[in-house]
Amino acid sequence: MEDRDALMEAVKQAAVERDGRMTLSCAEAFTLARSLGANPGAVGAACNEADVRIVQCQLGCFK
């Protein structure tokens, strides 16, 4: 997916509010990337830019 604005909008729509913060699980981020034909890194960058926190890391890096 090349359209940055569309990617940002998709991330914002997929994110949910938990404890006063917008979050997206790691698994949901990978699923979103696959469905949009985007690189998972691009989804991660969009999350950073939109202040969406990645939660439930599949590698256990973020707790």
| pLDDT at residue number 48 | 94
Whether residue 26 is contained in a domain is answered as yes
Whether residue 60 is contained in a domain is answered as no
Whether residue 22 is contained in a domain is answered as yes
Instruction: Name residue, tokens 């949910």.
Output: 16
Q: Which domain holds residue 49?
A: 4-55
User: For 2-50, how does the pLDDT look when each residue is reduced to its tens digit (9 = 90+)?
Assistant: 588 899 999 999 999 998 999 999 999 999 999 999 999 999 999 999 9
Strand order, beta sheet including 53-55: 16-18, 21-25, 53-55
Whether residue 63 is contained in a domain is answered as no
Whether residue 61 is contained in a domain is answered as no
Query: Left (φ > 0), alpha (ψ -120 to 50) or beta: where does 5 sit?
Result: alpha
More confident residue, 22 or 62: 22
**How much is the pTM?**
0.84
Q: How many domains does the chain have?
A: 1
Whether residue 29 is contained in a domain is answered as yes
Which of 3, 54, 62, 5 minimizes the C-alpha distance to 30? 54
CB proximity list for 28: less than 8 A, separation 6 or greater:
14
